[in-house]
Amino acid sequence: MKYRKPALTLTDQVSLLVSRGLQIADVGVAERELGRLSYYRLAGYFLYFQGGAGHQFRAGTTLEEVLDLYHFDEALRLLLFKGIVPIEIALRAQLAYQGALKAGPFWYKDRQYTLGRRDHKGQDIHNGNIRHIRKEVKRSGETFIQHYYHRYSSPALPPAWMVFEVVSFGTLSKVLSHLRPAITNDVARFFGVGQPVLVSWITALCSLRNRCAHHSRTWNRKLTVKPVLSIKAANTWLTAVPQTNANLYGLLACLVYLLRAVDEQKGIAFIQEMKALFSMFASVPVQAMGFPVGWEQEALWQ
């Protein structure tokens, strides 16, 4: 079937929404919002208010309600990004520190610390990681990287404590997921979890961070990269573990756990900001993110 739908002017887009039952008090405001956000960015939020055939809105749904939901999600993404940053920085520091102490400044170049030899596509894991590291180090404009190459002719890549400051979170996550426990056990211990749990959580948080960085809808989306939630924790964890790990609630719990392990005060501040956000947008149902009734009573959220 060939796609044949034409592009619609902002005026026509407003008319389409009205024909589907959305109440729009000011056409000018509606056109401005569609112009700066785009119909398809808002489409995911329209769906929450629609039901039945023809994308009809539930009776009484207003554009203001849709925009409130969008603005909540926008603020949530900024908060999530802010919460992930200290975890990412601590992971960089710990990988460089623990690895260098155990195996020297250039341990990440040694194949013996990589799990397996090939990924599910048949590609050499170690060579792939080094290729990504080399590319990201090369494009870095950091002074300490430039100083290294100005002063030293070998090795071809800088020591771990420089490398892990400039590679992307995605590359950092891939390196972590392919490392042997000899390097990662003490890193995981710093965060208060076991090595397989840390790998799972960092992989899921990296995916969430990318979604936030690309301004994608987050609040009620099912996770494609899911964290393990049934864990043996060294610190305060959920007493009522969610039955599904596909909702944002479980991953938020992982984020808060790691953040409190890195910096307790930042963890508490994150929780306070999250609760304040929920209060500000009280009409947004947190159940759509997987939050259970009585979640506030969990010690993790105190």
Name the residue ranges covered by the structural domains of the chain: 10-61, 71-301
**pLDDT tens digits for 151-210?**
999 999 999 999 999 999 999 999 999 998 888 999 999 999 999 999 999 999 999 999
- Other CB atoms within 10 A of residue 2 CB: 3
Has this prediction a pTM greater than 0.85? Answer: yes
Q: How far apart are CA 68 and CA 156, in angstroms?
A: 52
**pLDDT tens digits for 264-295?**
999 999 999 999 999 999 999 999 999 999 99
**% of the chain beyond a pLDDT of 70:** 100
Consecutive H or E run containing 88:
helix 63-103
Pick left, alpha or beta for residue 56 (phi over 0 → left; psi -120 to 50 → alpha; otherwise beta).
beta
Q: How far apart are CA 261 and CA 239, in angstroms?
A: 18
Residue 117: what pLDDT?
A: 73
Q: How far apart are CA 95 and CA 161, in angstroms?
A: 8
3-state secondary structure of 77: helix
Residues pairing with 109 in the sheet: none
- Cα 112 to its chain centre, rounded Å, is 30
